Amino acid sequence: MNTLFDKIWDSHVVNNIEDGPQQLYIDRLYCHEVTSPQAFEGLRQRGIKCFRPEKIFCMPDHNTPTRNQDRPIEEPVSKKQVDTLAANAAEFGLSYYGMMDPRNGIIHVVGPERGLSLPGMTIVCGDSHTSTHGAVGAVAFGIGTSEVEMVMASQCILQQKPKSMRISIEGKLGKCVTAKDVALFLMSRITTSGATGYFVEYAGSVVRDMSMEGRLTLCNLSIEMGARGGFIAPDEKTFEYLKGREFAPKGEDWDKAVAYWKTLKSGDDAVFDRELVFDAAQIGPMVTYGTNPGMGMEISGTIPQEADIAPEGRKSFLKSLDYMGFQPGESLLGKKIDYVFLGACTNGRIEDFRAFASVVKGRRKADGVTAWLVPGSWEVRRQISEEGLDKELEAAGFEIRQPGCSACLAMNEDKIPAGKYSVSTSNRNFEGRQGPGSRTILASPLVAAAAAVTGRITDPRNI
Amino acid sequence: MKQKFNIIESTCVPLPLENVDTDQIIPARFLKATTRDESFFGENLFRDWRYDSKGNPIPTFVLNDPAYGGDILVAGRNFGSGSSREHAAWAIAGYGFKVVISSFFADIHKNNELNNFVLPVTVSEDFLAELFSTIAADPKARVRVDVPNQTVTNLSTGRSERFEINGYKKYCLMNALDDIDYLLQQKDKIEDYEKKTI
């Protein structure tokens, strides 16, 4: 009751269906090439157009190669999917930012960065990491392709209203502890289904102190706790971040918007269905050891013993360790690794590149490590050049690639080979996620950089 | 595929693993299709658990075990976590499953199943554990899912439970209607809402 989630959600309800879901109005629909073609096809079969084309923005990101984007995509099936999005956007009159467009990038990096995602909005995309946009104070969540078609057809979606949860993290984060570690810590505590059925508001001093980039990382990973979305009430930091961005309101409209955005917070009397409070002092740099993001631990910790796992979960636990080639009770420090991936909608922003470069400074990429450094957007790529980070990283043996989702889910050619270990700043360590047979260890950009320069799992606090 | 639901009675395919994510249900490399060809996705359901890297069936995986079959998939808790890809629901539907029974479903995937006329049935942990034991003892054990009465019954033990589904969605499933059919009738309300909020 009287939570910010209630305020935003309730103000977008068009209609309540008796003994059914609510009809929710959507302010922004993002479309990428993977989850939209069947929705466009559905519209064609029904003989209808997009109801509010000006509220829909399209860009390819999943299939895009991270080299030679100025040339046509070589892989014919990927090319066809990307070309299909361009053709659909043209046919239905939608904004489209194709490869090499300075506005192209991973949709969840581009939305906030262009000021397309604004406080108080409802935002959807056929992609579970749509929760990212919650960092600007919006209700943003991932949907399926049938639901994408619903929004195209009516600018509405039918949804049961989720319950609300507040997660507060109080105190100050320790050395080398980032937003990514906070999220991996939360998942390790409440599991990947701990927030299923909820929308999460993040609060507490740690979240207030967090940069916008950090907040985007934290909200991005809400889905990995099972939550439909996560968001942070907008504050001065949010307004400062959005001011002057391409699609943010300007002049008098800006002042009016900020006045409204300032009202967007949970009431002092707000009642959440569930409240959790964590102490920042408990959180250290994290790594995962298994095949779901909830299987994480502090980097200096040890993998649980079989006896620590509930009986019904042991089969999955052992299957997972077998896949990873790890033993119960083992420490991961000093383990040799093969690949490092910096990027994705989780950690592909300028602050992530700054963090990675800060560890690399004065060191070199370890022999035998393949590192893919993939900016989240062309705008991030521009900032990297502007700050000279590309020169520093290139001098240390690294290559900065062109933007896209890349090895997060390996739909382009950036695939981790079977059996190889990848320290990855992405969001999922599922079996085969980064390529068939790949073994993913999720971590922050600092831990990834420490692994890249040592060739082993290394605590960034110790180098 | 739109179909009318009423009473389904069938043998089951057991998958007693927790946290089965949608990357396992259908790996990302099969998401490049631009059509909704359910048979293509169905052929690749659980691809990397079902076939080795050379494309040979892995005999220990349940879909390759001729002892098991039927319209109902029974899976461990937190089924369908991770990616929102509706391709996972298309694969389940394309393979021929009409019902998935689990003690817990991930949100987005649950909606995706419903939108593709696959019925997610949430049962208690006890019911699920007993059902796995029943199927292990007798692969031909049958389960009855009664949509009008919202009950699921393990016909070997007679144990029955009520499952939840809202009245609107139940009506849609029983009459083969989807949400877009409904939304397209709501244009006036949507335009009224837009006028009010400007």
Mutate one of B54, B84, B127 to test the A interface: name it (highest A CB count within 10 A). B84
Q: Which amino acid is present at A62?
A: H
Query: What fold does the segment set A286-462 form as a domain?
Result: Aconitase; domain 3 (3.30.499)
Ramachandran sector of residue A101 (left: φ over 0; alpha: ψ -120 to 50; beta: rest): beta
List the beta bridge partners of residue A234: none
Task: Decide if B103 touches A, using CB distance below 8 A.
Answer: no
Nearest CB partner across the interface for B84, out of A42, A127, A432: A127
The pLDDT value given to residue A312: 85
The pLDDT value given to residue A1: 83
Distance from CA of B24 to the nearest CA of A (A): 7
For residue A228 the two structure tokens come to 């439909």
B1 — pLDDT class (breaks 50, 70, 90): confident
Q: What is the pLDDT along chain A (463 residues), one digit of tens a residue?
A: 899 999 999 999 999 999 999 999 999 999 999 999 999 999 999 999 999 999 999 999 999 999 999 999 999 999 999 999 999 999 999 999 999 999 999 999 999 999 999 999 999 999 999 999 999 999 999 999 999 999 999 999 999 999 999 999 999 999 999 999 999 999 999 999 999 999 999 999 999 999 999 999 999 999 999 999 999 999 999 999 999 999 999 999 999 999 999 999 999 999 999 999 999 999 999 999 999 999 999 999 999 999 999 988 899 999 999 999 999 999 999 999 999 999 999 999 999 999 999 999 999 999 999 999 999 999 999 999 999 999 999 999 999 999 999 999 999 999 999 999 999 999 999 999 999 999 999 999 999 999 999 999 999 999 8
- CA angle at A116 for the pair A111 and A122, rounded to the nearest 5°: 95
Q: Which amino acid is present at A88?
A: N
Q: A19, B167: Cβ pair inside 8 Å?
A: yes
Q: What is the three-class DSSP state of A297?
A: strand
H-run or E-run covering A384:
helix A378-386
User: What does the pLDDT look like over B115-166, one tens digit per residue?
Assistant: 999 999 999 999 999 999 999 999 999 999 999 999 999 999 999 999 999 9
For residue A220 the two structure tokens come to 């991005």
DSSP string for residues in A117-136: S-TT-EEEESSGGGGGGGGG
At the fourth CATH level, which superfamily is domain A4-261? Aconitase, domain 3 (3.30.499.10)
The pLDDT value given to residue A16: 96
Nearest CB partner across the interface for B108, out of A25, A142, A292: A142
pTM exceeds cut of 0.80: yes
Q: What is the mean pLDDT of chain B?
A: 96
Nearest chain B residue to A49, by CA: B184
The pLDDT value given to residue B197: 86
Decide if A4-261 and A286-462 have a common fold: yes
More confident residue, B198 or A207: A207
Alpha helices in A62-144 (DSSP H): 76-92, 107-113
CB A153 within 8 A of CB B184: yes
- Selected residues 178-197 of chain B with any CB under 8 Å from a CB in chain A: 178-180, 182-184, 186-187, 189-190, 193-194, 197
Nearest CB partner across the interface for B183, out of A11, A18, A153: A153
Measured in whole angstroms, the distance separating CA A137 from the mean position of its chain's CA atoms is: 15
pLDDT of B38 above 80: yes
| Distances in whole angstroms, Cα of residue A294 to Cα of each of A47, A50, A291, B26, B136 | 44, 39, 8, 21, 29
Q: B129, A312: Cβ pair inside 8 Å?
A: yes
Task: Decide if B60 touches A, using CB distance below 8 A.
Answer: no
Distance from CA of B195 to the nearest CA of A (A): 12
Q: Kind of pairing, strands A139-142 and A122-125?
A: parallel
CA dihedral sign, ordered A242, A243, A247, A252:
positive
Mutate one of B31, B40, B92, B107 to test the A interface: name it (highest A CB count within 10 A). B107
| Distances in whole angstroms, Cα of residue A379 to Cα of each of A27, A276, B175 | 24, 36, 49
Task: Decide if B7 touches A, using CB distance below 8 A.
Answer: no
Q: What is the distance between the alpha carbons of residues A304 and A112, in angstroms, rounded to a whole number?
A: 38
Look up residue A282 and give its DSSP letter.
G
Q: Which of B173, B77, B85 is nearest to B126 (CA)?
A: B77
Q: What is the three-class DSSP state of A48?
A: coil
CB A421 within 8 A of CB A441: yes
Q: What is the distance between the alpha carbons of residues A27 and A48, in angstroms, rounded to a whole number?
A: 20
Q: What is the three-class DSSP state of A29?
A: strand
Q: What is the distance between the alpha carbons of residues A71 and A78, in angstroms, rounded to a whole number?
A: 13
Q: What is the three-class DSSP state of A233?
A: coil
Alpha helices in A140-283 (DSSP H): 145-154, 179-190, 205-209, 212-220, 236-242, 251-261
For residue A446 the two structure tokens come to 């600092």
Q: B86, A149: Cβ pair inside 8 Å?
A: no
Q: What is the distance between the alpha carbons of residues A98 and A19, in angstroms, rounded to a whole number?
A: 43
pLDDT of B198 above 80: no
Q: What is the distance between the alpha carbons of residues B90 and B116, in angstroms, rounded to a whole number?
A: 7
| Chain B residues within 8 A of A428 when measuring between CB atoms | 21, 23, 82-83
User: What does the pLDDT look like over B74-121, one tens digit per residue?
Assistant: 999 999 999 999 999 999 999 999 999 999 999 999 999 999 999 999
Domain boundaries, chain A: 4-261, 286-462
